[in-house]
Amino acid sequence: MGRRRGITYRQKRALAGWLFSIPFLVGFFLFFLIPVLQSLVMGFQTVKASPTGIKLTFIGLENFKQLLLVDPDFIPVLVSSLTDLAIDFPAIILFSFFIASLLNQKFRGRTLSRVIFFLPVVISSGVIQLIQSSQLQAVSATSITAEAQNTGVVQLADFALGLIRTVRIDPVILDYVQMAVDRAYGITVASGIQILIFLAGLQGIHPALFEASSLEGATGWENFWKITFPMISPLILVNSVFTIIDSMGGLLNQTIMRIHTTSFIIGNYGYASAMSWTYFLIIFIVLSIFLYLTSRKVYYEN
Amino acid sequence: MKTAWRNRIDRQWSADRLRRHSWTLFRFLLIAGLAFIIVQPILIEISSSFKGLSDLYDGSVFLFPKNPTWKNYVDVWKYLEYPSRLAYTVAYCLLCATLQVVSCSLVAYGIARFNFRAKKMILGMAIATIVVPIQTVLLPQFLQFHYFSPITMFTLGNVLKGVNLIGTPIPLIILSATGVAFKNGLFIFMLRQYYRNLPKELEEVASIDGCGFFKTYVRIITPGAATMMMTVLLFAFVFQWNDYFFTTVLTPGLNVFSTVIVNIGESIAVTQGIWFGNMQEMLYDSAALILFILPLIILYSFTQRFFVQSIERSGIVG
């Protein structure tokens, strides 16, 4: 029984749950939900900023028409964002899983390797990416060939691929691998958190499972497909969602930068709002399709 | 007969060993190569931050400048007023990060440990804040803080003028205190996973002893969660340090690094009367980048275990 009359202990706990959530709920409604809705409203207006305030004029679907039918830049930029995602996404998932398996083995220097692989999360996020990419542009603009991104390692890998090409493997796969290798830096840098998530998952698999199956005579290959893969499959889902969100909302994403320029540098607020809402809907569709296709294939232990 | 057996065993044994050793070698080369890919851009930045123009145009210079100079650092240091800006940035990021940890941890605890109907919806709301691209909310937020008053929050600054908070630290402080700053949805998710896996007995014992919910949270849960909170604090600090969009839009001109660090070379060149297109700008950029990430690298070298073990501890996996 609660101290106050008429309130059960259960209700009291529910109330406490609400109370703990209050700061976030306030923030969510005032500084997230309202802005999201306002941005939708602005998408249907021309927005003029003047010293006396903001002036809105309703223009219906004009912004969206302009965006999808007239603007020569928006759709190509959007397509290139999606292509980047399509190339990087499988590479990041496979790469981070592979590296996590490597880092899960026992060897000398393991701690140091983990520290280095996680370093990009600390120093290559946000502003730093922006500075580096602007420097790269400066370099290519003046055509001074500083070996900025294509390191010796990448060239070596390209060379090895050239050798493999002489052997018969499906050219589609090889083209993809070549593309992924050329983006090795971006992929490595974007994999930090995914590696950690996989690593934690691998460490969470009980060794007894492997012992038992090895006693029954299973090979390492069978162990992987029958134990490791099902146990890790929920994390593949978590990592996939994380990768999609990270790649679509990142600083180097061209669509994001374009929306940013349109709104805060050019000052075309209504148009930028229409852009950002279109983009948001596309991310939402991509995520939904992905979740729909994969969620049923994921194995949950409990 | 005996020697034949032994030979066979020897051969098998050495084949096994060969396989193991070649795997070790392969693994070493692979990890070293990838580690190099990660570290190499920083090495290049360090190298070019010590270059002068003569080294930049000299094709034979790659990593080690022939005439290393401190000029880039001296100019950037002066332009940034480094010591005071560093102090301000650290204080600002620490304040925001602390507020974010407090607000995120409160809501995470609320939805992890108490049973009420909306708890799943609140988690969904937290995740929605990271799924929606930041550009969608940034412009209305800018208007909210540009014409800040209880009414104009809803009216896009149309009815009243309100107070202009853009350029002050207040917008980010408000967003941090209410758990909707940069990537806070992720922090809420991590903390919620952590709290969810705590044993139930903790609160039961406290409740039997007559400890209220909030007191239980402050006195019993929080001290136990100190390492997890430290991890989130470090993430929040680093993200705040590196943040570009919130900082440049809501707090332009603030005395932190991220407001000036992009295209800093150009700005310095302009103050020196050099105009666009000078390669010196690029060298300034490199020196500024090193000065910008150096504090982060020092922080990381002391606290890397918090980052590296963060996911395990949060129990996202479990």
How do residues B186-242 score in pLDDT, each as one tens digit?
Answer: 999 889 988 988 888 888 888 888 888 888 898 888 888 888 899 899 999 999 999
Q: What is the pLDDT of residue B159?
A: 60
* B38: nearest Cα among A119, A208, A67, A40: A119
User: For the residues A186-207, what does the mean pLDDT come to?
Assistant: 85
3-state helix, strand, coil in chain B (%, to 5): 75, 0, 25
Q: Where residue A1 falls among pLDDT bands split at 50, 70, 90?
A: very low
| Strand-pair partners of A56 | A47
| Helices and strands (H, E) in chain A, number of each type | 15, 2
Q: DSSP readout, B196-262?
A: HTS-THHHHHHHHTT--HHHHIIIIIHHHTHHHHHHHHHHHHHHHHH--HHHHHHSTT-SSGGGT-T
Cβ(B189)–Cβ(B127) below 8 Å: yes
Amino acid letter, residue A298: V
- What are B139-151's pLDDT values in tens digits? 889 888 988 887 7
Amino acid letter, residue A89: F
Q: What is the pLDDT of residue B314?
A: 67
Residue with the bigger pLDDT between A13 and B106: it is B106
Q: Chain A residue with minimal CA distance to B176?
A: A27
Interface test with B, best of A38, A97, A112, A142 (most B CBs within 10 A): A38
**B38, two tokens:** 């990660």
Structural fold of domain B82-260 = MetI-like fold (1.10.3720)
Rg (CA), chain B: 27
Q: Which residue shows structure tokens 């409203």?
A: A41
Q: What is the pLDDT of residue B233?
A: 93
Q: Where residue A148 falls among pLDDT bands split at 50, 70, 90?
A: very low
User: B208 and chain A: CB distance < 8 Å anywhere?
Assistant: no
Nearest to B139 among A109, A193, A269 (CB): A269
> How far is the alpha carbon of B1 from chain A, nearest alpha carbon, in Å?
31
User: For the residues B28-37, what does the mean pLDDT come to?
Assistant: 88
Say what the ipTM of the complex is: 0.86
- What are B85-134's pLDDT values in tens digits? 999 999 999 999 999 999 999 999 999 999 888 889 999 999 999 889 88
* B182: nearest Cα among B124, B230, B117, B137: B137
Q: Spell out which residues of chain B touch residue A20, defining contact as CB-CB under 8 Å.
A: 106-107, 109-111, 114, 213, 217
Cβ(A300)–Cβ(A89) below 8 Å: no
Q: What is the pLDDT of residue A166?
A: 64
Q: What is the pLDDT of residue B98?
A: 97
Cβ(B107)–Cβ(A23) below 8 Å: yes
* A185 pLDDT more than 90: no
Cβ(A207)–Cβ(A228) below 8 Å: no
Which residue ranges make up each domain of chain A?
1-37, 71-297
Q: Look over chain B and give the mean of its residue pLDDT values, rounded to a whole number.
A: 85
User: B256 and chain A: CB distance < 8 Å anywhere?
Assistant: no
Across the interface, whether the CB atoms of A42 and B31 are under 8 A apart is answered no
* A12 pLDDT more than 90: no
User: B200 and chain A: CB distance < 8 Å anywhere?
Assistant: no
Positive or negative: CA dihedral B143, B145, B149, B151: positive
User: For the residues A72-98, what does the mean pLDDT come to?
Assistant: 90
Nearest to A38 among B34, B140, B258 (CB): B140
**A53, two tokens:** 């305030």
Across the interface, whether the CB atoms of A13 and B115 are under 8 A apart is answered yes
Q: Spell out which residues of chain B touch residue A35, defining contact as CB-CB under 8 Å.
A: 136-141, 144
Cβ(A77)–Cβ(A259) below 8 Å: no
Nearest to B179 among A27, A119, A264 (CB): A27
Region A71-297: CATH code: 1.10.3720.10
User: B172 and chain A: CB distance < 8 Å anywhere?
Assistant: no
Q: What is the pLDDT of residue A145?
A: 40
